[in-house]
Amino acid sequence: MPLVLTSVGALADRSTRRALLAGPGELHVTNGAIGGLDVLEAAAQTQALDTVSVTTSKAPGGLIQSWMDAEEIRRLNALSPADGPLTIFTGTPAEAIAKFPANVNITVALAWATRGLGLDAAADDELMAAALRRTRVEIRADARQRDSHHEIVAGGPAGDFAFSISSTPSPENPATSGLTALSVTRTLRACLEGLRRG
């Protein structure tokens, strides 16, 4: 039976990741609001990616978190379009998901797609741990930004890759993209199709 993971940030936690990989059933990870992962996954499966990074830009209001102090919140609320983008985070996907759990599941999805080819759950766990260390994340607050914007860059022996994706925020939750639900639906359709064929 397939298991579809929608809160992809859970893969950043090693004990949770190991439990998910152990099954039962086959784990399917949704891509969320980003694309191009099939190309990067193919390159990673031949150990042909050395660098992977994602820069996410969002409207300041969608990045405000409960852990932020009053000055940080004031600074984000005061940003104007003339200020340009303000980098508020740099680090790894695991660090990003801990600070911005509703905003950056895509960073962990990117690490998952670029982990390489594991032959079993233990190998997938180790590959994911390495991918989480390798993947670099930058988060920017930008008052000019109406959509969620993601710049993905990867490179290595397979070549150089760059993807630019802008997706409309969800009307129900401006911290995430409206495409996220469509990504989940696509993954569920693929699972159902696989069950019908099997």
Close Cβ partners of 1 (under 8 Å, ≥ 6 residues apart): 24, 25
pLDDT of 20-52, one tens digit each? 998 888 888 877 767 778 899 999 998 889 999
pLDDT of 62-102, one tens digit each? 899 999 999 999 999 999 999 999 999 999 999 999 999 88
Provide mean pLDDT across the span 12-17: 94
CA neighbor of 101 nearest in space, from 186, 36, 17, 175:
175
Catalytic residue numbers? 150
Q: Which fold has domain 3-197?
A: Dihydrodipicolinate Reductase; domain 2 (3.30.360)
Q: Where are the domains of the chain?
A: 3-197
Give residue 21's identity as a one-letter amino acid code.
L
Pairwise CA distance, residues 7 & 177, whole Å: 13
Report residue 178's pLDDT band, with 50, 70 and 90 as the boundaries. low
Q: Which residues pair with 20 in a beta bridge?
A: none
> What per-residue confidence (pLDDT) applies to 176?
65
Pairwise CA distance, residues 176 & 195, whole Å: 30
